[in-house]
Each structure stands twice: as C-alpha cells, then as structure tokens.
Amino acid sequence: MFLNGTRIAAPGASSERRYVFSEFEISGNQLIAKQTGAQIPLTVDSFRDGWRIASFAGIVQAVRTIRLARGREPRARISFFPQKPRFYYAIWPVCQLADVKIVDDPAEADLHFYFEDREFLTAPPAAPSDRPAFNVGCYDIRKSVVARVFEETFGYGLTLDPTAHDGPAVEKSEGNGRHDGRIVACPLPAPTPGRVYQRLIDNTFDGVEFVDIRTPIVGGRIPFVYLKRRTRARRFSNDNRRVDVVSADAMLSSAEQARIAAFARAMALDFGGLDVLRDRGDGRIYIVDANKTDMGPPSALSGKGKLKAMRGLADAFAAMVEARLDGRP
C-alpha cells in the first residue's frame, strides 16, 4: 500500500504468510486452528473478513513506519513468550500504536507478556526474567473456571446442574474460541464429558437482536466496549451483523465496571477481552467468557472504527506499561 507517496509493506511478507498458514489446516469447508481447534467456515464472508483484517494491519504498520521515520522512539520494549502474536491478534496493533516495540530476545525487553493460544496450564508459566510481566497468572480460562470466578466476584451464578435443572440451558465446550454453544432441554440423564452447562441468558434489547457487550480490559480499565449484534440463528457464533464502539459508561454502571475489574484481577488478566451479556429478564450482567489472546478488532467495524478502537486500547496499554515500569500496580 502507499501512504504519503511511500510504499508501505503490510505485515504480509512471505515469511509471515508461511508462519500464519502453518497455524491452520483445512478440513472440509472449515479452516481449523491447529493449537486451539477453533473452526472458521470457509465462506465468501470469511475471506472478506480476512482481507479486512490484513488491510487494517497494513494501515497500522504504515502509521508506525511514519512515526519511526520522524524519529519517534519506542516507549518500551516487550517480549512475548512462548510465542509472538501475529497481526490478527489485538495486542499486535496495540503495541504498534502504543510505541511499544516487540523484540525477539527477552534479554532486550523491559517487559514480558505471556501469550499462548490455549486455555489451560497446570501451573503459571515462568517468565524469562524478573522484569514486569503481563498475564502470567492467567493460565486457566476454561469456561468452568470463568463461571466459578464470576460467581465468587459478583455473588450470583451462571452454572447449572443439567440433571436437576428443569428448562432450557446452554451447553458449550470448556475450550476457548469454539463458539459451539447450543440450547438443550433439561433435565438431562447425565452431563456430556468436557461440556459445561449454564443458564440461558436473554441478551436482547428488543427480544429480537442478540447483543454481546464485548469488554476489553487493560490493567483493570475498560477503555470502551464493543456492541456485537447478532441474529437469533447466529447468537452463539462470532458472526456479527453489526459492531459498534461505545463508551463503557453507556452500557455498564460504575458498580458493574468495578466488579468487572475485580473479576479481571481474580483471573490475573492484565490484557484481554471479556464476553459480557445483560439478561433482559433480571437486568444483571453475566461474564461468560474470558480471552487472554484476543483477536481484533472485529472485522465488521469500519476502518475508521478499527483505528479508533485500537488507539483507545493503545492509550490504556501505554498507561499500564508506564505504571509497571515505574513499579506501580
């Protein structure tokens, strides 16, 4: 692409493309992430979304290149372990826009970031050094753990016993990014191994359009929220009919934001995204998912909306980086 008459290479160099392609495999009409098992339908829409994400990454790279050309120094240097984020993860554009340089050698880094696209480890990973590190304590984001910590933090629950509950419930896998939720009629003779059962939340404003309040969290702060709007048929998918960026105050009370921050602290989630649903019946919010390797921004956003969102995240991330470097929590 070209910016100000200069050709800027998007992060789509041949080595990057080979790496990205090695992380996925095709099975039937699905693109499958080898590490997590997450499935992406191979459709015209998915190819269009992929193009939008790559194009946005090119814009971010261009902004960063111009800053470097003007002599702008990095705010800090950060290393990711055990793997580096690719351009389709939210933290990649955030680092570029926050002037935080991603380095390969941990010895050159001022900070570290635990980054691994898996939901469970038996113990916290060891950081490369004693320098400040993000998300190190966030090593178990299985759905059952998220539900347990949510109940401990908020004082009301999400989990159901499918053998005792009478009525509809949501059945989903423990894994992250599967989008395989389905409605089942309870009671069941027995739960399916590896699945969790939760209350069915009516997360509609009008009884028709289902709304996921996707809530970025950065150092306990909520810079904004995404309103992800879906049809009834796609309510458990990641196929958004429309996405809007709105202020956190417009959707969440100050008390709710404080509890969300407390939940993130309990999960040791310094940077990530939460799926928050508001139930139309009781008016309360429920955290149903926590993601420490958040992808983004959502492809359904316009280019202007994507840049606005990532700049908001970058400002919050820069503040968190400076706080950690200064020895503040």
pLDDT > 70: percent of the chain: 83
Most confident of 36-40, 134-138, 178-182: 134-138
Residue 163's pLDDT is what? 98
Stated as kind and residue range, the H or E segment containing 168 is strand 167-173
Tens of pLDDT along 227-236? Answer: 999 988 888 8
3 state SS of 233: helix
Residue 161's pLDDT is what? 97
Are the beta carbons of 207 and 190 closer than 8 angstroms? no
CB-neighbour burial class of residue 189 (10 A; exposed 0-12, middle 13-18, buried 19+): exposed
Q: Is the pLDDT of residue 113 over 70?
A: yes
Residue 42's pLDDT is what? 59
C-alpha span between 92 and 58 (Å, rounded)? 12
Residue 239's pLDDT is what? 82
pLDDT (average), residues 294-305? 85
* Higher pLDDT among residues 5 and 252, named by residue: 252
Tens of pLDDT along 120-133? Answer: 998 999 999 999 99
Q: Is the pLDDT of residue 20 over 60?
A: no
Residue 177's pLDDT is what? 72
Q: For 184, phi and psi rounded to 5 degrees? A: -125, 155
Residue 7 confidence class, pLDDT cut points 50, 70, 90? very low
- Torsion angle (degrees, nearest 10) of CA 269, 272, 277, 283: 50
3 state SS of 12: coil
The least confident of 5-19, 38-52, 96-110 is 5-19
pLDDT (average), residues 210-214? 96
Q: Is the pLDDT of residue 245 over 70?
A: yes
Question: If you ran DSSP here, which 8-state letter would residue 141 be given?
Answer: -
Most confident of 43-47, 210-214, 239-243, 300-304: 210-214
Q: What value does the mean pLDDT of the chain take?
A: 86
3 state SS of 140: strand
The Cβ-side half-sphere exposure at 125, using a 13 Å CA radius, reads 24
C-alpha span between 196 and 122 (Å, rounded)? 19
Residue 49's pLDDT is what? 57
For residue 82, whether the previous peptide bond is cis, meaning omega lies within 30 degrees of 0, is yes
* Angle made by CA atoms 313, 61, 115, in degrees to the nearest 5: 55
Residue 47's pLDDT is what? 57
Tens of pLDDT along 145-171? Answer: 999 999 999 999 999 999 999 999 999
The least confident of 47-56, 271-280, 310-319 is 47-56
pLDDT (average), residues 295-310? 87
Residue 12's pLDDT is what? 46
Tokens of 52: 């939008």
pLDDT (average), residues 275-299? 94
C-alpha span between 42 and 28 (Å, rounded)? 9
Which residues make beta-bridge pairs with 89? Answer: 295
Chain CA centroid to CA 203, Å: 19
Distance (Å) of CA 296 to CA 185, 219, 310: 34, 18, 9
The least confident of 32-36, 110-114, 187-191 is 32-36
- Token look-up 């799926």 returns 275
Q: Is the pLDDT of residue 29 over 70?
A: no
Are the beta carbons of 231 and 294 closer than 8 angstroms? no
Residue 16's pLDDT is what? 47
Residue 41's pLDDT is what? 58
CB-neighbour burial class of residue 308 (10 A; exposed 0-12, middle 13-18, buried 19+): middle
CB-neighbour burial class of residue 156 (10 A; exposed 0-12, middle 13-18, buried 19+): exposed
3 state SS of 138: coil
Residue 102 confidence class, pLDDT cut points 50, 70, 90? very high
